[in-house]
């Protein structure tokens, strides 16, 4: 078990952090009881490995049984609270985690926390210490508080699993960011060619989409003609009229469902975009604050030189 003294480092980002979605459960515990019963509770963590594949919820029952066998006080039994009904957004690393919750925790509080990593469904159980609790951005979360925690007494195997998870997510993010950066550089370097390729791609996809819609309509109409004619024994004109109104009814119903689903979908997309750019803004501001005056001037000079060079020589 390792303990990192956060007071010795002003920058709490001692490890690489990622934004991720997890299932999160936590329980506040008393500091004095933690100090008195820490070895006994560590035995519970060691005897019940929660870092395996998440197969069933009976692990909580096993943890409760072990606690009762050791005659620990009821307050030490992890009666976990669910932080979210489904997945929740967290900022996580091997050293700590930030998440939104509805409890006004205080700096210095101790938690027992269980994290279900997705999609592997690997579960990690450990202690953590609250290092800050502040009001959250209402655009980012439905919960009023943003809590930052530092992991303490995490088992080595759990830390290794969490490190692998963070490294995997980091690699995925680097691939996506690399693709976006390559696209942006291509558009800046060759705007005419890039926009020509994009327009050609959209024209190609739109043309084949219309062709697919036409073939699907013909297929549905042909089969409806045969079905109506077989069921009602109608002539060609009556069959076409019936099929026409049936198709119109389906189209109107589909349009109604689309109108019902589109506003919530747009609101969700808007919320995700606001959350994404808020996080990016926070990361950029953090990066900027951590730079020295010389590095800030250097970044400004490089940015101005790049923009000036592109205006005079690239356009």
DSSP secondary structure of 181-193: HHHHHHHHH-HHH
Dihedral pair phi/psi, residue 151, rounded to 5°: -70, 135
> Hey, which residues does 24 pair with through a beta bridge?
115
Q: What is the mean pLDDT of the chain?
A: 77
Q: Tell me: the pLDDT tens digits for 180-231?
A: 888 888 887 788 888 888 899 999 999 999 999 999 999 999 999 999 998 9
Tell me how many helices (H) and strands (E) the chain has. 7, 7
Q: Could you tell me the pLDDT band of residue 301, with boundaries at 50, 70 and 90?
A: very high
Which tokens is 31 given? Answer: 């500091």
Q: Which CATH architecture fits 6-154?
A: Beta Barrel (2.40)
Q: Tell me: the pLDDT tens digits for 19-66?
A: 888 888 888 887 766 665 554 445 544 444 333 333 333 344 334 333
| Residue 256 pLDDT | 95
Across 59-68, 117-126, 248-257, least confident range: 59-68
Contact 21, 83 (CB under 8 A): no
| Residue 18 pLDDT | 84
Contact 156, 94 (CB under 8 A): no
Q: What are the residue ranges spanned by the domains of the chain? A: 6-154, 257-315
Largest Cα–Cα separation, the chain? 89
Contact 72, 37 (CB under 8 A): yes
């Amino acid at each position: 078990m390792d303990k990192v003294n956060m007071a010795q480092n002003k920058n709490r980002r001692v490890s690489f952090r990622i934004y991720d979605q997890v299932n999160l459960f936590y329980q506040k515990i008393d500091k004095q009881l933690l100090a008195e019963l820490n070895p006994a509770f560590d035995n519970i963590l060691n005897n019940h490995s929660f870092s395996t594949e998440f197969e069933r919820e009976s692990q909580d029952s096993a943890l409760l049984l072990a606690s009762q066998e050791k005659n620990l006080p009821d307050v030490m039994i992890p009666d976990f609270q669910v932080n979210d009904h489904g997945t929740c957004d967290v900022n996580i690393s091997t050293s700590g985690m930030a998440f939104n919750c509805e409890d006004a925790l205080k700096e210095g509080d101790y938690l027992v926390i269980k994290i279900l990593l997705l999609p592997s469904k690997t579960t990690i159980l450990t202690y953590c210490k609250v290092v800050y609790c502040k009001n959250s951005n209402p655009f980012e979360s439905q919960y009023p508080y943003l809590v930052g925690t530092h992991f303490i007494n995490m088992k080595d195997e759990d830390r290794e699993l969490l490190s692998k998870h963070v490294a995997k997510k980091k690699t995925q993010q680097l691939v996506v960011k690399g693709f976006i950066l390559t696209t942006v550089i291509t558009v800046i370097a060759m705007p005419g060619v890039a926009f020509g390729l994009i327009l050609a791609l959209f024209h190609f996809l739109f043309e084949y989409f219309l062709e697919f819609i036409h073939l699907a309509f013909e297929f549905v109409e042909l089969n409806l003609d045969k079905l109506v004619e077989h069921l009602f024994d109608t002539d060609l004109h009556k069959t076409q009229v019936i099929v026409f109104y049936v198709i119109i009814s389906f189209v109107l119903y589909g349009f109604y469902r689309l109108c019902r689903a589109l506003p919530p979908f747009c609101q969700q997309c808007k919320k995700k975009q606001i959350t994404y750019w808020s996080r990016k803004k926070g990361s950029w501001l953090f990066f900027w604050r951590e730079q020295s005056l010389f590095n800030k001037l250097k970044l400004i000079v490089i940015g101005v030189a790049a923009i000036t060079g592109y205006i005079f020589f690239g356009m």
